[in-house]
Chains A and B, each alone.
Chain A
């Protein structure tokens, strides 16, 4: 079955760009009609949807983060990535990647285990 694994630096300096990658195993990122998503969760707080990408490259972002977020996909590596620019301490969170089944719903059936990113100098 499909599994997701986040990877990337655990520590990012303020004002820099946070970069994370999600590797898809057990299946092709291009097969099926899925939307590859990023979600984050600050410690002790709730979930915040960041955005998603379809394998065609079309994207959809949270309007509150849209100006700083870029999500891309590399089908040759079976990966998709997140870049969040101009980070501050408020971006410190556990970042999850997930697979969404449809465009206009919130159901995400496969999740990675999450990776903790701390923004600090």
Chain B
């Protein structure tokens, strides 16, 4: 059972837009930055978004992030078949035993 809640799967057609939600609480998303990762099959996760909405160098602007209250959203526009992957949200949980927490992951299928 993951601390952050994500939908198990989402799907959309090539060229379309998709959003992936990530829900938490005041001890994690509500008071800390959210990161998003893309994990292509058989590879290590790759940082897509940090500080809720910033993109590391080399990440196309088709990927965007936002946060409101205790929820965050990853948006992907102009979907490509190469975007088919698992996506994870992560954040700091500043409860008594502060640590990093992840969502359970969302499988994106590009139909």
- Footprint of B on A, CB under 8 Å? 37, 39, 46-49, 51-52, 60-63, 66, 96, 100-101, 104-109, 111-114
Contact = CB atoms under 8 A, between A and B. Distances in A.
Interface in B25-60: 32-35, 37, 43-47, 50-51, 56
A51 B100 CA distance: 8
A107 B102 contact: no
Contacts of B102: 46-49, 106
B97 A63 contact: yes
B46 A111 contact: yes
B94 to A, nearest CB: 7
Contacts of B37: 47
A77 B21 CA distance: 41
Interface of B: 2, 32-35, 37, 43-47, 50-51, 56, 88, 90-92, 94, 97-105
Contacts of A37: 100
A3 to B, nearest CB: 11
B104 A112 contact: no
23 contacts: A37-B100, A46-B2, A46-B102, A48-B102, A49-B100, A51-B99, A60-B98, A61-B99, A62-B99, A63-B99, A104-B32, A105-B32, A105-B50, A105-B91, A106-B33, A106-B90, A106-B100, A106-B101, A107-B47, A108-B47, A111-B45, A112-B44, A114-B44
B35 A105 contact: yes
A53 to B, nearest CB: 13
B41 to A, nearest CB: 12
A66 B97 contact: yes
Contacts of B105: 46-47
Contacts of A39: 45
- Top 10 nearest A-B pairs (CB, nearest first) are A106-B90, A107-B50, A63-B97, A49-B100, A111-B44, A107-B35, A46-B105, A47-B102, A106-B35, A46-B104
